Chain A
Amino acid sequence: DIQMTQSPSSLSASVGDRVTITCRASQSISIYLNWYQQKPGKAPKLLIYVASSLQSGVPSRFSGSGSGTDFTLTISSLQPEDFATYYCQQSYNSPRTFGPGTKVDIK
């Protein structure tokens, strides 16, 4: 199975900050990397797919990049509603493993 890691595991940031989260795969997954946002008590929500494509309805302050084994999710200007946990997921093969998550909270 492909193992996914994320860094940092948590971060504190302020509204308006630029935030970058990194995801790394244990082997090359081409561009098959998705990002999800999860708020407490809620289901995950798809943000980004195939590394850099923005899901419909997701604000343009979210962006993704990367290929191979290294990927990033960037929030260009953090908004109050963005405080949440973010998960990467590889969709290169089954099982579609998730990263351990990065919790973004208020500084």
Chain B
Amino acid sequence: EVQLVESGGGLVQPGGSLRLSCAVSGFTFSSYEMNWVRQAPGKGLEWISYISSSFNTIYYADSVKGRFTISRDNAKNSLYLQMNSLRAEDTAVYYCARDDFSRRVFDYWGQGTLVTVSS
């Protein structure tokens, strides 16, 4: 069974940092591209970052470029999102999502982890 489990969310002050993790199981992690998608309270879905299976391609949304860093550890079956210089508008549920590149879909999602940026 494919599973993605996010962790690392919580309350952080503006300007602070947080590192999210996504532990996966049930598939060959090293063969898949991965994404982070977030959803602010009561709002829609916002794609924020992508990493290829071989690490050589990374994309960011303009809203997080220069502040967030996506990475992965294929040996640990884990995806990460390092978030620095956090702002109130970064408050959201953050989801990791598997990218089935052959069909161009996000086919499996984690349950999400809530990040709240507030003083």
Q: List chain A positions with a Cβ less than 8 A from chain B.
A: 32, 34, 36, 38, 42-46, 49-50, 53, 55, 87, 89, 91, 94-101
Interface core residue of A42, A43, A45 (most chain B CB under 10 Å): A43
Within residues 32 to 56 of chain B, which ones have a CB less than 8 A from any CB in chain A?
Answer: 35, 37, 44-47, 50
Q: A3–B104 Cα gap in the complex (Å)?
A: 17
Q: List chain B positions with a Cβ less than 8 A from chain A.
A: 35, 37, 44-47, 50, 59, 61, 95, 103-107, 109-112
Measured CB to CB, the nearest residue on chain A to B50 is A94
Q: How many whole Å from B114's CB to the nearest CB in chain A? A: 11
Query: Taking A32-B104, A98-B45 as contacts, is the C-beta distance between A43 and B59 under 8 angstroms?
Result: no
Q: A45–B106 Cα gap in the complex (Å)?
A: 9
Interface of B is mostly: strand
In the complex, besides A43-B110, A95-B61, A98-B45, 17 extra interface pairs with C-beta distance below 8 angstroms are A34-B105, A34-B106, A36-B45, A44-B45, A44-B106, A49-B103, A49-B104, A89-B106, A94-B50, A95-B59, A96-B35, A96-B104, A96-B106, A98-B44, A99-B44, A101-B44, A101-B45
B46 touches A44 (CB 8 A): no
- Of B37, B95, B107, B112, the contact of A46 (CB 8 Å cutoff): B107
